[in-house]
């Protein structure tokens, strides 16, 4: 089929490209329709007749896939692909692809932005200066929270893949010790000086910072619950730049309010965008950012390049980054 006849639909392109990137290369591959956002009710109508559909958060359910007769390819413009019913796609021999490992450096950077903000309270003290607190201070300096040095502290990393390893490298440059967990590393002991494998329980019990970098599965949903939080030191901090549903948010809110742990830095929540009744919003020792760890321009450029490369590979008959079974 000539590429100028291929219909390509981008269901929710705004977060990938709010205007600082370019859809031009994708547009050379077919007739493109790019929507900034699509609600679940709009998916079927907008994707009708498309051979190729790209989505980030617009869901492609079994019902939607069943009604899209022309559909042959679903490209997820992210690493996680739970937004697509891959079983239904496989049944119709529709390839589903994702974009692995485009944002490791950016996510690791955000992980430490949270760690450093919790240990130095940069945002808080900057705001205090703007509010003329320093002007009125009788001393040459002031601080409202304990200031914590990272050297010699222990960082526990749950999920030691590409992002976890990048976080570990940064931590080691600060002089931190690492306890790491990955199913593939169980029983390995010390990997190298300053980096040891450990069980999740040991990480929770011994770490000064616990950082989550694992994919969301049915088995680990809400595994950071009241029982897990009770294992942590009262001086410890929890960091999550991975997936919101890994944490039982009500239990974390209680742990933060009662001083069971010292604080949390979160870039993800269980429901996004955040809801008005989320129990974590407004807690002083819980710093939340709006799921932006992945969103540096450098990371989004790599993401866009791989999205286009995935489509090209599919059109050539040599698909790459396929996450489901097709024949």
Write out the catalytic residue numbers: 243, 272, 291
Report the distance separating Cα 12 and Cα 16, nearest Å: 8
Report the distance separating Cα 82 and Cα 16, nearest Å: 18
Residue 8 CA to chain centroid, in angstroms? 26
Q: Are 8 and 30 in contact (CB under 8 A)?
A: yes
Q: Are 204 and 228 in contact (CB under 8 A)?
A: yes
Q: Are 29 and 315 in contact (CB under 8 A)?
A: yes
Structure-block tokens of residue 248: 């039982």
Report the distance separating Cα 168 and Cα 108, nearest Å: 9
- Residue 183 burial by CB count (10 A; 0-12/13-18/19+): exposed, middle or buried? exposed
Q: Are 327 and 47 in contact (CB under 8 A)?
A: no
Residue 260: count of CB within 10 angstroms of its CB: 17
Q: Are 8 and 28 in contact (CB under 8 A)?
A: no
Q: What one-character-per-residue DSSP string does 286-315 give?
A: EEE--S-TT-SHHHHHHHHHHHHHHHHHHH
Of 75, 80, 64, give the one whose Cα is nearest residue 272: 80
The radius of gyration of the chain's CA atoms, rounded to the nearest angstrom, is: 22
């Amino acid at each position: 089929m000539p590429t100028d006849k291929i219909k390509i639909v981008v269901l929710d392109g705004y977060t990938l490209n709010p205007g600082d990137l370019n859809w031009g290369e994708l547009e050379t591959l077919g007739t493109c329709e790019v929507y900034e956002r699509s609600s679940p009710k709009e998916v079927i109508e907008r994707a009708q007749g498309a051979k190729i559909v790209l989505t980030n958060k617009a869901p492609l359910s079994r019902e939607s896939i069943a009604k899209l007769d022309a559909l042959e390819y679903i490209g997820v413009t992210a690493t996680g692909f739970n937004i697509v019913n891959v079983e239904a796609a496989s049944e119709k021999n529709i390839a589903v692809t994702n974009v692995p490992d485009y944002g490791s450096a950016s996510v690791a950077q955000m992980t430490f932005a949270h760690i450093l903000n919790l240990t130095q309270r940069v945002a808080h003290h900057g705001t205090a200066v703007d509010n003329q607190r320093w002007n009125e201070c009788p001393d040459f300096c002031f601080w409202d929270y304990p200031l914590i040095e990272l050297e010699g502290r222990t960082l526990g990393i749950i999920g030691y893949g590409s992002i976890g390893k990048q976080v570990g490298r940064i931590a080691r440059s600060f002089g931190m010790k690492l306890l790491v967990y990955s199913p593939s590393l169980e029983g390995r002991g010390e990997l190298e000086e300053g980096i040891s494998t450990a069980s999740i329980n040991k990480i929770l019990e011994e770490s000064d910072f616990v950082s989550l970098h694992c994919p969301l599965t049915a088995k680990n949903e809400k595994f950071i619950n009241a029982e897990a939080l009770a294992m942590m030191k009262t001086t410890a901090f929890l960091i999550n730049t991975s997936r919101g549903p890994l944490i039982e948010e009500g239990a974390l809110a209680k742990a933060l309010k009662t001083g069971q742990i010292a604080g949390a830095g979160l870039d993800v929540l269980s429901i996004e965008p955040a809801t008005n009744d989320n129990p974590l919003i407004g807690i002083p020792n819980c710093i939340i950012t709006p799921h932006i760890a992945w969103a540096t321009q450098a990371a989004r450029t790599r993401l866009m390049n791989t999205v286009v490369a995935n489509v090209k590979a599919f059109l050539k008959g040599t698909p790459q980054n396929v996450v489901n079974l097709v024949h």
